[in-house]
Structures are given as structure tokens and as C-alpha cells.
Amino acid sequence: MILLPYKLNSASSSGRQDQATLSAFSGHLLEQAARGLSHDLLNLRCEEAGDSWNPLHGVLLFGVLWRDYGAWAQKINPADLHLTAEVCRLRDAAPEMKDTLDQSRANAYTEFLVHCPAKIAKLPSLTAPNLERFLLFLEALGDYSRTVDLLRCFLLELSKGGSLFLQRSLLEAVAFANWFSKAAETALGLITRTCDAYICQRMEAPRQDADQIQRLHSATEIQLNLVLAELIQSANLPSFEQAARTIVLAPRCLCEKDADNCLATEDAGSYTCSHCSARCSVAAVERLCDEYGAELVLIEHNSSFAAWIDDSSRVEDAGIIGIACAANLIEGGLEAARRGIPATCIALDHPGCTHWFEKREGSQFNLTALEELLHSKQMVNYQTDLVSPL
């Protein structure tokens, strides 16, 4: 049996149940936040983050990631963190150097894993040096660029209230993350039921590559990504539906064939389906896009998204539906928000690319959810056209 970090079931009768469970838990989370978090924390403002800012996102991301990585970050030499973070920044700025730089990242992460603490490791104190090393550790992992931006904004705004307010608020965030971890496991544990076994398997037989730490995302972090994606989608839906264009961004791991046999053609970092197989999930997505007047863009993986979106003309007047694995949902959503692009998302049923497995497994997603988003947007545009003056 192939172990998966998480598994949704869009192709079965339980697919709608998974979505209903996520929606219900997201609503419960908002109610718990309103009751359990302080008024000052819930009303924190950050002008630099723009209209997409939500302090609850900062609370949850800080609390969960601090629980997962706070102790680990303190065990890594700061000079190694700075160097690896710089390699990650260079990789983002120069995609053509990706293969070379990923080898440097792989070497660094192999050393990082030597210092990976036990799950029961005591969290460090919330001092400024410890917090900075924690953020630097996330930067050095290369998969949290936009998350680090949000957390720096979050910490900066908290610090304006003074050191006592900062400490109290961060302790509040950690306590709320503790509640989230237990509540999410109760509500969403079936989705991530094999995550711990998957992590143990990866630790026992590690692949020494640039993704070796990405494969260790905890069940709580995966659950958080799914829930935050649900909250962000609800908030973005009205502006997405008003956008003049619709772009569906899909990963190549949806393709029936692997990269060596897929006939999709590449152009400036994205791919165009050549309809080489009627059974391919991408072909089904393209049929829906054609029906609803949407544009389909295939990208290799999450890092390709930031490079592709750099050309603002590609996304002018567009709303985006991003299809991605749970680990990449929030980074993609924050990247789109940073650029003022209204974005919604749909999670893959499970990771499918070689980042996660010894060989490519392929994936699926909830095609009905995509059709519902496209149909809803079409209806809004149709109604807008009806009331618009000639």
C-alpha cells in the first residue's frame, strides 16, 4: 500500500462529505476564534498586507508553524540558515539555476535533518532572537516565502503594542494552535490518517534531495492548509466572480502520462495540453474550461507559479482557480493576494508528483467543485451583463 500524507475522496460518495466536513470545521474555527481570542488580536491591522489581511491567518500560521519548527530552528547554526535562505532567494530569482541550487539545498537539508528534534521537544522562549531564527529557518526551507512575509508583518504589528502585548499575543496564538491541533484531528483526522506513517517511512528511507523536509509536513500543518484555503476562498469568492477573465492553474501531476511521455508543449514556464489521451484528467479540465470560456494553464509545480505570474499581463483582469496539493495551497493564495489577484482554489485528492514519492503517482481532484466555481462565476457575469446599460 502506498502511504499518503493526506487523502481526499473526490471520486467517491464521500467526496462531498469531505468538503462538507471542511466547511463545517472552518465555521466552527471562526466561532471559536471569536470566543477565544482577544479583541485586540482579532482586530489587529496591517496596512502593508493590504485588503487580504486577516489577523486570524497570522495567529494560526504562527502558532502551528512555531509548534512544528520553533525548537528545530534553534538547533541549526545561524550562518547555515542565512546561507541556505540566500540560496532559496537566488533560486526564486533565477529559475534557470534551479537544478544546481537544489543540490546545495539538498546538502543543507540533509544536515538539518540530523538536528530534527523529537515531537515532544520543549518549545523555546518567545524572545526576539528565537523568533528571528524561526523565521530564518522557514526562509531556508524555501517553501514559505509568502508565509514569512505575512508572519513578519504580523510580528511587526504586534510589536507596536509593546513587548508585553507581543508576548501575550504570541502565547495566545500558541494556545489557539494547541486547540486547533486537537480539534482538527478530531474533525479532519480521517483525511490525514496515514500522515504519521508516511513521515516515518520518509525518515527511515530518506531521499537526499531538495524536497526531503517538505515531505515531513505534519498532519496539523496539512489540516491548517486545507482549512485556511477554505476561509480564503470564501473571502475571495465575490471578487473572483466579478473578474472579467478566468484562469484555471493546474499542476502537471494531473496528467495521465509522466513528463517523459506527456505531449504537452512548453512555453515560458507553462504547458499546453495536446489532447494525447482522452482519459487524462487534464483533458477533462480543458473540456470544462472550453465550455465556460476559461483559460487553462498547466504548471510544473508551486515554484513555477510565482515565476509564471511575474508577467502581470498574463493575469490582467483575471480571477484564478488554483488546483494544488494541500502543502502548496496557502503559499499560492498568499502569492496571488500579494499581487491583488482574486484567487480561489481546489485541493488535489493527494500529492501526485515525484516531490513526494519514489515515483510519480498522479492525482485527481474534485472536478464537480471546479464546474460549480465556473458555473457560479458565469451566472454572476451573465447577471451583470443583464443590468449593465447598453
What is the mean pLDDT of each successive set of 10 residues along the chain, which is 390 residues long?
84 71 95 96 81 88 96 95 94 84 92 82 92 97 93 95 95 97 96 93 80 90 96 91 93 73 72 75 89 90 68 84 91 88 92 76 85 90 60
Place of cell 537544489: 102
pLDDT of residue 248: 94
pLDDT of residue 265: 73
Spatial neighbors of 193 by CB under 8 A, at least 6 apart, are 7
Burial of 191 (0-12, 13-18, 19+ CB in 10 A): buried
pLDDT of residue 313: 76
d(C-alpha 29, C-alpha 204), whole Å: 35
How many C-beta atoms lie closer than 10 Å to residue 203's C-beta? 13
d(C-alpha 79, C-alpha 77), whole Å: 5
Q: Which residues on adjacent β-strands are paired with residue 272?
A: 265
Which pairs count as long-range contacts for 273-282, CB under 8 Å and 24+ apart, including other chains?
273/298, 280/254, 280/255, 280/256, 281/254, 281/255, 281/256, 281/364, 281/365, 281/367, 282/250, 282/254, 282/255, 282/256
pTM above 0.85, yes or no: yes
In the chain, what are the domain boundaries? Answer: 17-222, 243-385
Helix%, strand%, coil% for the chain, nearest 5: 60, 10, 30
State which fold the 243-385 domain adopts: Rossmann fold (3.40.50)
d(C-alpha 18, C-alpha 190), whole Å: 9
Q: Three-state SS for 110? A: helix
pLDDT of residue 321: 95
